[in-house]
Amino acid sequence: MAGKRQRLSRKFFLRDTHVVARDLLGKILVRRRGKNIVACRIVEVESYVGHDDRASHASHGRTVRTEIMFGQGGHAYVYFIYGMYWCLNVVTERADFPAAILIRAGEPLEGIDQMKRARGREKLVDLASGPGKLCQALSITGTLNGEDMVTSKTLFMTDDGFKVRKQHLLQSPRIGVAYAGEHALKPWRYFMKDSPYVSRI
């Protein structure tokens, strides 16, 4: 584990989405409500970039729902899916360019009892090993959509100096986007090799 935790800056999120995605691996996602803190280390993410990306919600244009993806990097894009689950993304790059990174999985670090309660599960690997699970564990819902993670007191990301070596990093096509034509094949899913906390192998 490590050193002092430093919050990720605006500048961090304004860079190229795929670069930010790789850099997010190993960073810490923090959810704070009063004195209650729940945190996990990010082990799996996916990039959704530009209006050409048919897997991206933004490919259907600028709508009420996707407006936040067209905003400035650093904001949270939280959406509801399959009638039951929430998914957390962090918006990247400049305003008016639609791009975001789906936070797919994390390794529980802090507030583990709280996560177990929120999930109704005991095993660590069942707490945040998928985008829906992660949001449930961290109590992330639509009320956090649009939250500025650079300045927010309740949802933000930090760097504790943890380094992810290149040989511990893997890429693959994204999950659940078979409908997206040529973009379905792009290896825009980034995850930590050998981590038991990724959503699947």
CB of 149 to DNA, least distance (A): 15
Q: 110: exposed, middle or buried (C-beta count within 10 Å: 0-12, 13-18, 19+)?
A: middle
Closest CB 178 distance from DNA, rounded Å: 8
Q: How is residue 182 annotated by DSSP? A: G
**Alpha carbon distance 75, 67 (integer Å):** 11
Cβ proximity to DNA: between 7 and 80 the closer is 80
- Nearest residue (CB) to DNA, 10 versus 60: 60
Shortest spacing between CB 3 and DNA, in angstroms? 30
- Count of residues in the chain: 201
Point out which residues bind DNA (CB under 7 A).
46, 48, 55-58, 60-61, 63-66, 69, 77, 79-85, 87, 89, 100, 102, 119, 121, 126, 130-134, 174-177, 179, 199
Toward DNA, which CB reaches closer, 34 or 120?
120
Q: Select 118 or 169, whichever has its Cβ closest to DNA.
A: 118
Query: In a 10 Å sphere around its CB, with 0-12 CB exposed, 13-18 middle and 19+ buried, how is residue 24 labelled?
Result: buried
Q: In the structure encoding, which two tokens stand for residue 179, read together?
A: 């409908």
- Exposure on the CB side of residue 178, measured as CA atoms within 13 A: 1
Q: How far is the CB of 76 from DNA (least distance, A)?
A: 11
